[in-house]
Structure 1
Amino acid sequence: MDFNDTPEEAEYRAKVRAWLEENAPRGVKGASLGDEDESQMDACKAWQAKKAAAGYAQIRWPKEWGGGGGTTIQSVIFAQEESRMGVQLGGPFAIGLGMCIPTVMATADDETKKRFVGPAVRGETIWCQLFSEPAGGSDVAAIRTRAIKDESSVDANGDFDWVVNGQKIWTSGAHYADYGIVLVRTDPDAVKHKGLTMFWIDMKSPGVQCKTIHQMSGARGFNEVFFTDVRIKDSQRLGALHDGWNVSIITLMNERASVGGGGGARGGGAIKALQVAQKIRDENGDPLSNNSTVREKIAEHYVRAEGLRFTGMRSLTALSQGKTPGPEQSVSKLVQAAAMQDLAEFMVDLQDQAGIIRDPSLAVENADFQEMFLGSPGGRIAGGTDEILRNIIAERVLGLPGEIRVDKGIPFKDLPTGR
């Protein structure tokens, strides 16, 4: 593992740092994805446009599509330096540029690409990803939203309508998205992985209704999205008919590739945990950081965070050498999500009765651990549940036998529903 930049990478990092020092917005606080207010959204769009004009919006994309024509490691370097500056204004565009637009670029015709890629890079349009459904859980192929061909709608060019009915859930940013990519079932007589098709959709289309989900953390970034007789053209299809599963794999692969960075800050949340423990006093007036049990627990989290950081470094080393990273991201996500929840629970307990105080003006460290306590359980579901990730690691990394599939070879319409 090489912890140092190559001479070329060091030169690029210096160039990026100088540009950020001159252009990065100061004092603009970001928000979690989907929770941006109007002023934050304006700031996000302005920053995205400025990055695009300088070639930093999508560094590894071709210049003809609005990118910088650079490398993946250059993109990682920019993300690291942007984070170092404390700029967190990319949230509204993360899903579109990380997953949706790469899918459009890989599967759409040139006219569609020209229509959508440039505006998305410049921050003029926002996209969402419509995959998950209430009955599907982490099984993307179990979706039940239907698209039925309207035979009477064929026009002179051979284009026709699909009529979509169904529901999606946990769709980040759908309430302010302009467009989305949606996976629907077009052939219920096929096995569940074969009867799916992907389309792009205008989120302002008649029949599309978004309802924000109020989480226990107070966040409202997730949405339920309902489709009632929504009409989309066959020309909006991404990929071949009934080949939506393979198109969705493109989306999910880009989701993994869009995760940049070097494994997080040194020690992760353990450093802040130690700072909190130094401020809390026991019954004798001594700081809890003097307690050997507390120190041991925080040390465990520090070691785990460092392991994650160095695992992330392995990915960066591979990228720097022009190689494809291995299974590090799946392993890191599995470990990190559980570690955050464990640390949050420990630190809220450590504060005793004060742990229930969530007001940032009153709580220790601005209630950061209270917020982590409420938000961290979702991290073990978003982007693949712990169980799904363990299966991926077991089957694709360790080469263990796959789980028995009782739905194999059965038409989707004949699968038991539990009713």
Structure 2
Amino acid sequence: MKQEPEMAAADTVEITEEQFTAEATAFLEANAKRKAERREFVWGEGPDNAALFEEIDRERERQELDEAKAWRATKYDAGYGWIGGPVELGGSGLPRKYERIWNQLEGQFDTPDGGFFGIGLGMVAPTILTHANPEVSADVLPKMFRADIVGCQLFSEPGAGSDLASLQMRADRDGEEWILNGQKVWTSGAHYSEIGEVIARSDFDLPKHQGLTGFIVDMNAPGVDVRPLRQMTGGENFNEVYFTDVRVPDSHRLGDVNQGWGVALTTLMNERAAIGGGSGGGGSFTKLAAMATHYGVNGDALTRQRLAEIYTQGKVLGWSNQRTMDGLRAGRTPGPEMSLSKMGLVRQMDATSNFVSNTLGEKLAVDTGEWGTFSWAGYVLGFPAMRIAGGSDEVMRNIVGERVLGLPKEPGIDTTSPFRDLRVGTQRSE
């Protein structure tokens, strides 16, 4: 199915949806097993795992990563690894609707977990496609979509988490290279990534939003030190990364010098699209309703109200995401409305966490082996991270207020307040 690079892009869209579906199905039938028919959910039966983040040891993680890489390479070589990507960069050059068809088909088969590539392909790759040197894009993107290399995102810092523009990691130019020094934190997948997208401060004399520059960095370069961070869930999904005199060629710069804020926004909008489009982990409404029935509280008015709110929030979130996805399929770039989806998901997850805590009580904190109890601890303990991932709740509200609703920008150290003359000790001149 995959077209040769020398073929014109117009030729790649001639395949009909029926032909594509038939060919893709044949490929999947030949290379994967169909999932068993999904049974109706019954409380006490089936897998008992509601955690937001799967806690596995590094050895098992590496094994699963190798399996996921092998599967991604197989489908990429067959033309299904980057269906909507430009032909000249190794994609198949097909409209977005074919990606949707593929995802629906692949979901019917038992294939390795592709979550390892979510950040790299969903956030970093679109940024590289938009801002990187064409030669670098042509080299890096095919390798990313084939899973020859994995990408991570290096934005947050210990002193600049929610306020990304306040980051202090240095990028000093040295001829045709840049020297990076500083620390990043909360970096998912840094320990198994080959490249990373990093934003650093290249000019400390400019206002904080204007002195930033983006780069693609080799995660195996001398001076890059990745250290795991243990969460209260017990897992180590995140890392802190130290850069000590790490050299990056200028050809691996993203965008223009000191224009890294625009680069960061490209990544963040795609990140919020990915997070906002999530399903909330193990907290499906069906499970929650079954939990209420099992513990005999499904007739309680307050419990029913909480369940109704969770269901309503999920439906509204789904409609909002559908509108956003339709826009993306139409070619529109993710915008500040992504913050609404992210806020909606967090709100639903908060309601789910509270519902589970109130219903299970002490069963949530003590592992007695009872089905559907202690397993929810991974959800409740993992949920707070979602308030921060992709931008904190407070930052999301500011974005929606300022860029969606058009409200005045919140006063800060880099903004002018209309009330500056009313501050204590300030003389107002007439």
User: TM-score scaled to structure 2, two decimals?
Assistant: 0.79
Does residue 219 in structure 1 map to residue 230 in structure 2? no
Taking the aligned partners of 1:62 and 1:334, their CA distance within structure 2 comes to 32
1:166 to 166, 182, 185: 182
Taking the aligned partners of 2:163 and 2:291, their CA distance within structure 1 comes to 40
Matched residue, 2:135? 111
Matched residue, 2:203? 187
Identical aligned pairs, as a percentage? 40
2:31 to 20, 23, 38: 23
Matched residue, 1:207? 223
2:63 to 15, 36, 39: 39
Matched residue, 2:287? 272
Task: Note the C-alpha offset of 1:296.
Answer: 2.7
Q: Cα–Cα, structure 1 residues 222 and 25, in superposed 2: closer, same or farther, change >3 Å? A: farther
Q: Cα–Cα, structure 1 residues 388 and 17, in superposed 2: closer, same or farther, change >3 Å? A: farther
CA contact (8 A) 1:311 1:328 kept: no
Matched residue, 1:342? 351
Matches within 5 A, 1:189-338: 189-256=205-272, 264=279, 269-280=284-295, 287-319=296-328, 328-338=337-347
Matched residue, 2:401? 394
Secondary structure of 1:315's counterpart equals helix
Secondary structure of 1:364's counterpart equals coil
Taking the aligned partners of 1:9 and 1:326, their CA distance within structure 2 comes to 29
Task: Note the C-alpha offset of 1:223.
Answer: 0.7
Q: How many residues align?
A: 384
Matched residue, 1:374? 381
1:127 to 151, 166, 170: 151
Secondary structure of 1:180's counterpart equals strand
Deviations 1:74-118 (A, max 9, x none): 334433444455656112211111222222222333332232111
Give the AA of the match of 1:23. Answer: N
Q: Cα–Cα, structure 1 residues 113 and 187, in superposed 2: closer, same or farther, change >3 Å? A: same
Taking the aligned partners of 1:195 and 1:319, their CA distance within structure 2 comes to 30
> Which of structure 1's runs of 4+ aligned residues deviate more than 6 A?
8-11
CA contact (8 A) 2:275 2:342 kept: no
Q: Cα–Cα, structure 1 residues 135 and 66, in superposed 2: closer, same or farther, change >3 Å? A: same
Task: Note the C-alpha offset of 1:177.
Answer: 1.0
Q: Which structure 1 residue ranges, 5 or more long, are not aligned?
A: 1-7, 281-286, 410-419
Matched residue, 1:412? none
Q: Cα–Cα, structure 1 residues 25 and 373, in superposed 2: closer, same or farther, change >3 Å? A: farther
Deviations 1:134-174 (A, max 9, x none): 11121221110112234xxx4xxxx3x33221100011111
Q: Cα–Cα, structure 1 residues 211 and 47, in superposed 2: closer, same or farther, change >3 Å? A: same
Q: Cα RMSD (Å) of the superposition?
A: 3.2
Matched residue, 1:284? none
Taking the aligned partners of 2:314 and 2:361, their CA distance within structure 1 comes to 25
CA contact (8 A) 1:209 1:226 kept: yes
